[in-house]
Chains A and B, each alone.
Chain A
Amino acid sequence: MSNVYDYLWLIPVLPALGAVIIALFGPRFLKNQSHWPCVLAAGASALLSFGVFSAVNSEDPPPTSHNYGTWFRVSPFTEAEEPKAEPRRDVEVAVDFSLRADALSAIMLVTVTFISTLIAIFAIGYMHGDPGYPRFFAEVSLFVAAMTLLVSGNNFLLLFAGWEGVGVCSYLLIGFWFTKPSAAAAARKAFLVNRIGDFGFILGILLLWVSSGYYLDYDNVFRVLPDDPAITTLVCLLLFCGAAGKSAQVPLHVWLPDAMEGPTPVSALIHAATMVTAGVYMVARCTPLFQVAPEAQLLVAGIGGFTALFAALIALTQNDLKRVLAYSTLSQLGYMFLALGCAVGPKGGADLEHSLVTFAVIAAIFHLFTHAFFKALLFLSAGSVMHAMGGIDMRRFGGLRKVMPITNVTFGVGALTLAGCPLLSAFWSKDEILAAALGASQQSASYGAIYFLLFGAGVLTAGLTAFYTFRAYFMTFWGELKLPPEAGQHGHSSHDTAHGHDHAHGHAPAETHAHGPVDESKLESPPVMTVPLIILAVFALGIGLVVGPTELFAHFLEKLHKTSGFPEATEHGMNFGVMGLGTLFALAGIGVAWLMYVKQPELPGKLAASIQGLYQVSLNKFFIDEIYDQMVARVQGFAEFCRTVDQEVVDGLVDLTGEVPRLAGSLFRPVQNGLLQFYALAMMLGLTVFLIALARSL
């Protein structure tokens, strides 16, 4: 294949086709073979993505974008009627189906399709026997299509189309077990919170549309920056509003923990590895805008750093394994935004020559890349645990390392990586983020102190991350073997049990042993689930070491300087001081967790009792949900008010108008009383009045 654009369009189209095929034929014909179109399409897209990647990486990279056709176009105005009229700028407003193959898109495509394929394979085992099996794979396939469109689109509207597409898939998949009211509510909440973000996003696109001369292709938008720096800052803030919604940054983070109502492969794919990073991708894509808006960058970094710390604090006390991971995702996304926010020039953004812009963005994307692997790994391992235990409350099981050896190792690897254990992948990426924050604090003229504070928050979060990750790991896999009664039924608890957070796998009744003793040898998951786990584990362990210190990753993304308006990268050696500090905090976190949950398991309870207030605040997620509930209640109250006004006032007036003829009629009705004498009297009176009038006028 000579030209990358001959097959780039297939990457979103194949999974979309897969989704259509499953939707049409799944329920009737494919049934429990419905995974094939999804897995094959995702796999093919992954292969094609590697093709794109290698083409972009080659000596002779392809052109940055290619236009396949027009989505919609309006070309206003013919020529002026009179030639002397002032010449008008002929504004043709067109939105193209135009795809882009640059380093950023390529790396995102590879990440998304590769992880999607692995997770789809995992789901074959995990979702086995679910009544909605075809639906699940149709929706996952559609998701892959939308997500690849999102990262490969070449203008803001295609980005937005993919953006909303993944939103819908996320909505459908969170509500996959729709019979559970909590799942239905979580789905709606996710979509609505995202829509709040989209509100900003749309306005940002509008501003860009105006400032870019009405053509939304990236290259054009970034070439024609808004004249007024205030407008640039505003655009950046609005775009970030959208990113914060999609990537669940404070205060729009509330939907992500609830989104864990969806099946675990979905949590792994959409709500950890790929979709939630769309916001990071978008801000990274808009680096040419953000780099000249230091105030917006400060907010991005601030929100990012705050979310990192805030979510880590909540994760400390959660008892639900998936929720711990969800808050950890929030926290890691916060890291990415912290890095993105550090992409500022030294003098308030004016001088980009020696800035760390590219370094910071690469750090964020690098973390996005490694995070996708280890977080997917952690979620899938958690899924494996749930598959065996039939529930997810960590207090109900323990010591699983003996009965689920493979899962123990894979979760352990994921936990070590997330904690930032030296030489594993997150170690490299997190170090780069911290180094970027430190760099920004030294470079930023006016906001150095704030950036240093954020650096501190980042380091502190590293320690907390290590603690809560290993708290979860120790609670689940170490200590005494403790199994809940529903374990071993492969979840067959389904929607009915109180703790069936995640389960609708209805294996054939013959296989389930309802209340029999737990067969410990059968708890480990089948190979179709463990093999993807092992692959992911290998990547989580090694990918950072392979591409991080060797700077392969950085050099690849530095190509963006030539194609996508990024400033030239400057050399940044490794910062061993930051590395050492990060490692110290990580090891301390692990140590404390070991002390509290392995050595002296009674310690956490005592500690919680002694700081009851703080513990409750953390356990209840800082009561943010309650604040939102209040706001929603207000909106609904106003809606109710509108309805009353409509019914009573507006329609009341209409009905009142309708009564006017009747009223008028009833005024004059007594006149027509049917009495002949009365009529005669009236006639005589009338005649008299007439005659008098006549006489007077003469």
Chain B
Amino acid sequence: MQEYDLLLMSLVIFVPSLFAFGLLFFPRGYEEAMRWWTLAGTALTLGLSLCAFISFKATTLDNLTGRPADIRTRAQLEYRAAEADRLADRKGGPEQRTDKQNDDWVARRPWIEPFNIDYYLGTDGISMALVVMTTVLSFLAMIASWNITKFVRGYCILFLVLETGMLGVFLSLDFFLFFIFWEVMLLPMYFLIGVWGGPRREYAAIKFFLYTLLGGVFMLIVILAFYFTDIRDFKKDKPPDEQNLSKEAKERWYEPWSAEGTPKEAVHTFDLVLLAHVGREASKIIDSRDDSVLVRARKALAEEKDSNKQQILKEKIDRLTTKWGFFTSEFQIATFLLLFIGFAIKLPMVPFHTWLPDAHVEAPTPISMILAGVLLKMGGYGIIRIAWPICPWAAKELAWYVALFGIISMVYGAFTAMAQTDFKKLVAYSSVSHMGYVLLGVAVWPTENNQFWSWGMNGAMFQMIGHGVTSAGMFFLVGVIYDRAHHRNLNNFRGLYEPMPLYAGISAVIFFAAMGLPGMCGFVGEFMVVLATWNFSKAFAILAALTVILTAGYVLWTVQRVFLGTNPAYKGYRDIDLRELSCAIPLVVFSILLGVLPGLLLSWMEPSVTGLVDTLYRLTASAK
């Protein structure tokens, strides 16, 4: 089959929407059938994403003979995207810009051609891990949705559209497409909270919506700023007589600093991969490195005799030195800050976190699972995929502050969680605290010649997945007890172990996993991040380690207040039932499995993450 990677990725994204469309044809009153239909949709998406995962792993990582370094190169999205572009150029020229390769997991089709907007999908270890996590959690959250009785059809449609939005965000490589999916996810979430939520649902929903929209607006500004940058030097025309050119001449042709092949018209793009490349060049220019485009173009100008080419080179140098242009530190820092704040809201980072507890408290249980399990990860993903690679210079300059905010989120979130009396709020603040590790792990950009950053970045990715499992689990468990007790006040529980031993056992596993016990999924990510932090800043590492005491404090206090003791009022509660078990057991299994055998995840995620770190680190490594 031609291009099954494109097909499979598109199916993963749009199958939920197709199922949502199918829901329109159910006659009124067949609520149960609608639920099963939706569950089938999420199950099919899950199956497809697993197919995509297996085939991605087989084609990009496993079937390669070669050194580990080659595999790592191949695991790079950028590398595969560049290869695909080159192949497309050779076959049909850049104007077609289609990519017929079917095993490189990068797929591009022109979409809105006047504006160079492509339907451009691609995956690597980073996004694949999040895609699989999203489909798994969506499936489990749908199981948890069974007791939603209000407007079932509407709920199911919004739920499926939400899934499409989330998967689209993780798979798109075109900034415009990314933004569309980002907003697509926003609206269903607004309604899911605002219609099916708790008593203060309107307030929470509008707060969530406005906050995220604000982040989206920041992102939009940056998208436009990037788009209006003329990047014609980095997207060369094809040589007219490629066959006849010598190898050196061909290489020189595609070099961004050379006069040859530079398009006469301005080129604008939304291509995230290309933008990342340009962003790295910008960093080199700002650092005035010898291998930067600017320096080499000036050198070329000095040697150039041909007046035509001299003119082209002069214009090129003008473009690269424009005041307030893409290649200045001011522009880099401004765009980085906008992007970072946009994603940090989603993460959420203190002080932009207050939408989270409100949204969580009001959202129905399955939506809380999705919110904590997947939506928060989109912030982390945006930082890793967009903010860091496109604005590496600013990221490096501001890394210390980002790490500081990570630490603040961790400590402050933990303290605030400790004082909560609402069970869901407590879990929400614990999310703030745990996502601080992600920020910290991403930000430990080394200042010396060392490489522990890849530990931090891998730890951050692992923490995202681990937190996806435990936070979804915790919200689900809160929901289970809310269904029975109809309140969430921690001070009024006590003694739930007696009537619900199985539920208490499962809760203990999930809570201990969230606490970061060795051998469970929370530990690996946190430990790797703390190790990496040690080489970045000792004080930060100490504070990060201190957080483990606080986390243990609020988790154990919660367990004590909810499960231990005895309470005659709850004696008659039924234990967790089969449907609830089928949602909880997979999460329990994941939280233990990922802790005992983190290699299951790290082995295929790590090459991509480490490769990214490697690429970015080179910018600083040889700068001196």
Contacts and interface: CB of A to CB of B under 8 A. Distances in A.
B119 interface: no
B524 A636 contact: no
B570 interface: no
A629 interface: no
B552 A643 contact: no
Nearest to B567: A179
A36 interface: no
Interface stretch (B29-37, B121-129, B543-551): B543-551
14 contacts: A74-B454, A74-B528, A76-B454, A76-B455, A77-B451, A163-B518, A165-B519, A188-B560, A202-B548, A203-B541, A206-B531, A639-B419, A642-B419, A650-B353
Contact of B518 (A81, A160, A209): A160
A650 B416 CA distance: 12
Nearest to B534: A206
Given A91-B451, A188-B560, A199 B545 contact: yes
Interface string A177-191: 011110111011001
A195 B545 CA distance: 10
A179 to B, nearest CB: 4
B69 A79 contact: yes
Interface string A201-217: 01100100110000000
A164 B415 contact: no
Contacts of A135: 501
Nearest to B546: A199
Given A72-B598, A76-B614, A188-B559, 17 more contacts: A71-B598, A74-B528, A76-B454, A85-B621, A85-B622, A91-B451, A93-B452, A135-B501, A157-B527, A161-B519, A179-B498, A185-B560, A191-B556, A196-B549, A206-B531, A636-B419, A654-B207
B184 interface: no
A188 B416 contact: no
B531 A195 contact: no
B22 interface: no
Given A74-B602, A78-B614, A184-B564, A210 B535 contact: yes
A88 B416 contact: no
B247 interface: no
A498 B231 CA distance: 81
A175 B564 contact: yes
A80 B449 CA distance: 12
Contacts of B557: 188
A78 B72 contact: yes
B610 A161 contact: no
B563 to A, nearest CB: 7
Contacts of B517: 164-165, 168
A367 B30 CA distance: 73
B505 interface: yes
B618 interface: yes
A73 B451 CA distance: 14
A25 interface: no
A453 interface: no
B553 interface: yes
A70 interface: yes
A640 B554 CA distance: 12
A651 B542 CA distance: 29
A178 B560 CA distance: 9
Contacts of A70: 599
User: Which of B418, B420, B556, B602 has the most C-beta atoms of chain A within 10 angstroms of its own C-beta?
Assistant: B556
A75 interface: yes
Contact of A209 (B73, B454, B534, B610): B534
Q: Classify the interface of chain A: helix, strand, loop or mixed.
A: helix
B266 interface: no
Nearest to A207: B534
B454 A642 contact: no
B349 to A, nearest CB: 12
Nearest to A188: B556
Interface of B: 68-69, 72-73, 207, 210-211, 350-351, 353-355, 412, 415-416, 418-420, 449-455, 458, 495, 497-498, 501, 505, 508, 512, 517-519, 524, 527-528, 530-531, 534-535, 541-542, 545-546, 548-549, 552-553, 556-557, 559-560, 563-566, 598-599, 602, 606, 610-611, 613-614, 617-618, 621-622
A199 B549 contact: yes
A620 B162 CA distance: 60
A135 B599 CA distance: 31
Interface of A: 23, 27, 70-82, 85-86, 88, 91, 93, 135, 157, 160-161, 163-165, 168, 171-172, 175, 178-181, 183-185, 187-188, 191-192, 195-196, 198-199, 202-203, 206, 209-210, 495, 635-636, 638-640, 642-643, 646, 650-651, 654, 658
B455 A74 contact: yes
Contacts of A638: 415
Contact of A77 (B354, B545, B610): B610
A180 B353 CA distance: 38
A595 B546 CA distance: 51
B613 A76 contact: yes
Contacts of A636: 418-419
Given A165-B518, A179-B564, A640-B419, A210 B614 contact: no
A85 B623 CA distance: 11
Contacts of A76: 451-455, 610, 613-614
A76 B418 CA distance: 37
B569 to A, nearest CB: 14
A80 B505 CA distance: 50
A75 B458 CA distance: 11
User: Which of A75, A165, A202 has the most C-beta atoms of chain B within 10 angstroms of its own C-beta?
Assistant: A202
Nearest to B411: A642
Contacts of B355: 654
Given A178-B563, A185-B560, A74 B606 contact: yes
A165 B542 CA distance: 23
Contacts of A157: 518, 527
A639 B416 contact: yes
A635 B598 CA distance: 34
The 4 closest A-B pairs by CB, nearest first: A184-B564, A161-B518, A76-B454, A643-B419
Nearest to B350: A650
Contacts of A642: 412, 415-416, 418-419
A143 to B, nearest CB: 14
User: Which of A72, A78, A203 has the most C-beta atoms of chain B within 10 angstroms of its own C-beta?
Assistant: A72
Given A76-B613, A638-B415, A81 B618 contact: yes
Given A157-B518, A195-B548, A198-B548, A77 B418 contact: no
Nearest to B353: A650
Contact of A192 (B353, B541, B549, B621): B549
A183 B560 CA distance: 10
Contacts of A82: 622
Contacts of A209: 531, 534
A196 B542 CA distance: 13
Contacts of B545: 199, 202-203, 206
Contacts of A178: 497, 563-565
A179 B566 contact: yes
Contacts of B531: 93, 206, 209
Nearest to B69: A78
B148 to A, nearest CB: 28
Contacts of B528: 72, 74
A187 B556 CA distance: 9
B416 A210 contact: no
A638 B554 CA distance: 13
Contact of B530 (A185, A202, A651): A202
Nearest to A79: B69
B552 A650 contact: no
Contacts of B453: 76
Given A72-B598, A78-B614, A184-B564, A27 B501 contact: yes
B416 A643 contact: yes
Nearest to A654: B354
A638 B553 CA distance: 13
Contacts of B454: 74, 76-77
A172 B563 CA distance: 12
